[in-house]
Amino acid sequence: MKTAIYVTALAAILAFGFAGTAKADSIQIGDVVYTGTVTNTTATFTIQCLDAACGGWFLSDVVLKGFSYSGIPTNLTEPVGYTVHAGGMNLGGTGSCNGNDTTGAICWSTPLPLTLQLGSGVITFSASIANGVSSSDLHFQALAFDISNPSSTGNGGDRTIALSCNFNGSDCTGTGTNVPEPASMTLLGLGLLGVPFLRRKK
């Protein structure tokens, strides 16, 4: 029993130690999974659609915010045609990096016509930063269009994603419905399975 307590305490200490150097959040909204990670030197945002229907959805600009950094972000990994910028985005129309909050948000933009389809697996945006720190939940913004349904909006398609949301599921505006994150539910279930083993032996 004592060994189990010591191991648990050590794991908790390590978890708190790593939490100070990196922040990673993930959420699934509808059929799309969004993940954000910030370390002292890197900010990364990934987006993946789990539905084959997303093959007709074309991604526009995306933003990761809710942290602080210094200097000018530079590209590490981003899809062809995208450019990284300091600051946030105007979440309307076709989007557009607006240069606001240049020490607390990073925006990746692409010109029209849109060419990046959401059904192409995990899409990764990563930028090099200096002194990255996150003291609260990360936040993201994403914009995508279904070009198979023409309209007067954006790239000649209907907006399928126009979302601004905290990774904890709060402060969400735009399209999409929150569903429980599978990883969180799995961890909860594993924790409950371990409860009977904490009983003291007679």
Phi/psi at 9 (5° precision) = -65, -40
Confirm if 44 and 132 have CB atoms less than 8 A apart: no
pLDDT higher than threshold 80 for residue 100:
yes
CB atoms near residue 139 (< 10 Å) = 23
pLDDT at 103 over 80: yes
CATH of 22-178, one of 1.10.3470, 2.60.40, 2.40.360, 1.20.140: 2.60.40
In this prediction, residue 91 carries a pLDDT of 72
- Band of residue 185 on the pLDDT scale cut at 50, 70, 90: very low
Give the pLDDT confidence of 148-179 residue by residue, as tens digits. 655 434 555 567 888 999 998 888 888 653 33
**Ranges of each domain in the chain:** 22-178
Residue with token string 């939490």: 19
What are residue 121's phi and psi, to 5 degrees? 90, -160
Q: pLDDT tens digit string along 11-66?
A: 443 443 444 457 788 999 988 999 999 999 999 999 999 988 788 888 999 999 99
What digits encode the pLDDT tens for the residues 106-153? 999 998 888 898 887 999 999 999 999 987 789 999 988 887 655 434
Task: Return the higher-pLDDT residue of 1 and 178.
Answer: 1
pLDDT higher than 50, residue 180: no
What is the mean predicted confidence (pLDDT) over 3-8?
45
Beta-bridged to residue 159, according to DSSP, are 145
Is the pLDDT confidence value at 192 over 50?
Answer: no
**Considering the entire predicted model, what is its pTM?**
0.72
Place of tokens 């991604």: 59
